[in-house]
Amino acid sequence: MVQKLSRRLGLQTNPVIFSVSAGLTVVFVVASIAFTDAIDALFGSASAWILTKLGWFYILGVTTFLIFLVGLALTRYGRVRLGGKDQRPEYGTLTWFAMLFAAGIGTILMFWGVAEPISHFAEPPQGDVRPQSVAAAEQAMAYTLYHFGLHTWTIFCLPALAFAYFIYKRGLPVRVSSIFHPFLGDRINGPIGRVIDITAVMGTLFGVAVSLGLGTLQINSGLSALFGVPESKTSQVVIIAVITLIAVTSVSLGLDKGVRRLSNINIVMAVGLLLFIIVTGAPLYLVRGVIESVGIYASWLIPLSFWNDTFSHSGWQGDWTVFYWAWTITWSPFVGIFIARISKGRTIRQFIFGVLGLPTAFTIIWFSVFGLSAFNIQMNGPGGLVHAVVDQQDIPGALFAFLENYPLTTLVSGFAVVIVAIFFTTSSDSASLVVDMLCSGSETAGPVRQRVFWAVTEGVVAATLLAATGQSGLDALTEVIIVVGLPFFVIGFLMMVALVRALTTDCRQPRSPEIAP
């Protein structure tokens, strides 16, 4: 019956994965609207239990993934080429970096660039540190870079490497279930494989929806500052509808005409904003600060990688680190497939060090410039950022409160809103393409109607998470994603075992032709 309906609709996808994923999404949306209090209570209780009992598992998981990747790159398997033995990279290093930048960190940079450093500066997470002091500034930068540096890119790198290996070395379909081929064999095409793929599609939808929700909150805050648009659920639903319409248009145009053009525009605009802050701010102070931030990050990296808030048990990690790791890992299949596609022909060593190193370097620069500039405004300038962001709990408005301290405030704030909106759009249309691939198992783009369906679905889920709950938008997004992220950590550990098994099997000979010279 499902297959007949799929043929009648002209769909080119796996009908079971597509229909079950779509059906579960509809059930969630309807249940959230019809039983708001019950759904809130369910996710609230589940997330509270996970934070209390399993927060350590999230922390340990990402650090373990990082150690595994670095170790793998340094072994002889690091010379294995992702593709045929004569395959070479399709993109040069600079182009590859630009595409990595567009894939994973756009919304993160814009939303948290000011908000996280100033939050930790006002309320230091650890120890008896005086708020808004030099020690607080150092701790704030350490935690911010921990959250958005190597660990975030580890979450993207592991599934991306697994996708690249099993798709380009073993010729398997573009599905998460392909990664489990060493365990399941051809059963990846059966019921177990479908369950894995449906889970991946649902997780990706929710992960992208959270990103869209955060972007919506920030756009709403910017429009409020510029034009007095009320910060309300109604405004947020309208914003999601407008941006989703733009995303649908981009998806209809395809990867080259739509997504790629928007991504290129986005990169230029974001770098332009970064340069504006440097030039019109305190250039020498920022140059010195960026260098110092590298040292801060290096000295704090190992302790924070294993910190579990064991002694104070303040709950801080649940609101910050665990939320980040859960959110990031749910949309890692989407980013992972994108990175895999643009990395064909590179060796595993080039892949790992490139995906971990290049974006992390840019992240250090970005957060250092925005974070240190915020500290400078608070300590040596007119101040007011702590009050606006922390005291009034206006995380989405942090960037716009920050920009009030720079020339051409209205123009630059409008420019920032446009950047966020484009990041929002590229996240939605890129995710639509990838979700469609996860359902079809093919790199070839399916009919436009399929991609449009997923773009609209992402917007509907984001609107539901923000509007059809009895909580504030950020709280609702946090609770849902902590719950959804749990199975993905289990999958992450299985990915490591699958990669080792596959590499051991495929490269048994000491001088295997699969290993690049």
CA-nearest of 447, 355, 499, 413 to 229 is 413
pLDDT number for residue 115: 95
pLDDT number for residue 511: 47
Stated pTM of the model = 0.89
DSSP 371-396: HHHHHHHHHHS---HHIIIIITT-ST
Residue pLDDT, tens place only, 132-145: 999 999 999 999 99
Residue pLDDT, tens place only, 459-476: 898 888 787 655 555 566
pLDDT number for residue 512: 47
User: What mean pLDDT comes out for the span 258-280?
Assistant: 82
What's the CA angle centered on 251, arms 245 and 252, to 5 degrees?
A: 90
Side-chain half-sphere CA neighbours of 38 within 13 A: 7
Residue pLDDT, tens place only, 3-53: 555 556 556 788 899 999 999 989 988 888 888 888 888 888 998 898 888
What's the CA angle centered on 107, arms 252 and 119, to 5 degrees?
A: 160
Contact 338, 105 (CB under 8 A): no
- Could you tell me the pLDDT band of residue 206, with boundaries at 50, 70 and 90? confident
Q: Is residue 399 predicted with pLDDT exceeding 50? A: yes
Separation CA 232–CA 200 (nearest Å): 31
- 48-57, 112-121, 260-269: range with lowest mean pLDDT: 260-269
Separation CA 2–CA 51 (nearest Å): 39
User: What mean pLDDT comes out for the span 123-130?
Assistant: 90
Contact 159, 333 (CB under 8 A): yes
Q: Is residue 1 predicted with pLDDT exceeding 90? A: no
pLDDT number for residue 60: 95
For residue 483, what are the contacts with CB-CB under 8 A and spacing of at least 6? 43, 46, 47, 50
Separation CA 438–CA 459 (nearest Å): 18
User: What mean pLDDT comes out for the span 377-397?
Assistant: 92
- 8-12, 63-67, 255-259: range with lowest mean pLDDT: 255-259
Q: Is residue 104 predicted with pLDDT exceeding 60? A: no
Q: Is residue 2 predicted with pLDDT exceeding 70? A: no
pLDDT number for residue 259: 57
pLDDT number for residue 9: 55
Percent of the chain with pLDDT over 70: 90
Query: Phi and psi dihedrals of 8, rounded to 5?
Result: -65, -35
Which of the 8 DSSP states describes residue 189? Answer: G
Q: Is residue 79 predicted with pLDDT exceeding 60? A: yes
- Could you tell me the pLDDT band of residue 517, with boundaries at 50, 70 and 90? very low
What's the CA angle centered on 43, arms 38 and 46, to 5 degrees?
A: 120
User: What mean pLDDT comes out for the span 407-434?
Assistant: 85
The residue written with tokens 């409020």 in the block is 224
Residue pLDDT, tens place only, 290-347: 999 999 999 999 999 999 988 877 888 888 999 889 888 888 888 888 889 888 899 9
Domains parsed from the chain with CATH numbers: 12-50+81-506 (1.20.1740)
pLDDT number for residue 412: 96
pLDDT number for residue 513: 43
Average pLDDT, the chain: 86
